Amino acid sequence: MKKFLLYLLLFLFVLPIAVKAQFETFKDSVVQLYGLVMTADSLKGLPAVSIVIKGQNRGTISNDKGVFSIVAIKGDKVEFTSVGYKSVLVDVPGNLEGNQHSIIQLMVADTVYLPATIIKPRPSRAQFERDFVNTQVPDDDITIARNNNSYATRRALMASMPTDGREASNQYMQQSARKLYYSGQVAPQNIFNPFAWNEFIKAWKRGDYRRKN
């Protein structure tokens, strides 16, 4: 029992020292990274640049003057990205003295070269009109969406696609409700129901009873 109390007192005495040392180590590794993002060709402040700590969900953006500030850890990698400019990856020095570090980051424009297009006129107006009328223009997204939502396409999809989980569960619940509704009595037969025969004839004409491959 005495040994246990001795170990407990020793643990309670050493624990605050270890926690304080760990906190001081973490505090020393935190760096306030700030600076200015500029264009490499004109040295103008670049706004709305994304500054992200690589591998972490932390970041910020530069203001309208290109100034930024973010908290990082010594040894982190900071990525600068902006539309129209090449991404830059900067390392925070691991042996940095102090808790502040300032940089001026230059961004180089990312030039994209498109393939050359040669435009040639038609020899005559008649040939141009003929080619213009006979040119097959592919459908745009709106036309494709309209064709997919047409009544004939939806009917074909309904006839070929199996029921999903919600439809199957609804059918099962309807069948169970119908059985419980006529529990203890004879359910009515639709063989003499003219409305049921009308629906059967319509389904037959639509081809609902055709064999599906």
Q: Could you tell me the CATH superfamily of domain 28-107?
A: Carboxypeptidase-like, regulatory domain (2.60.40.1120)
pLDDT of 212 strictly over 60 = no
CATH 2.60.40.1120, the chain: domain bounds: 28-107
The pLDDT, as a whole number, for residue 62 is: 93
pLDDT tens digits along 127-171: 888 888 888 878 888 888 888 888 888 888 877 877 778 888 888
- Tell whether the model's pLDDT for residue 25 goes beyond 70: no
DSSP string across the chain:
-HHHHHHHHHHHHHHHHHHHHHHHHHHHHEEEEEEEEEETTT--B--S-EEEETTSS-EEE--TTSEEEEEEETT-EEEEEETTEEEEEEEPPTT--SSEEEEEEEE-B---PPPP------SSHHHHHHHHHH--PPP-HHHHHHHHTSHHHHHHHHHHSPP-HHHHHHHHHHHHHHHHHTTTSPPPPGGG-HHHHHHHHHHHHHTTTSPP-
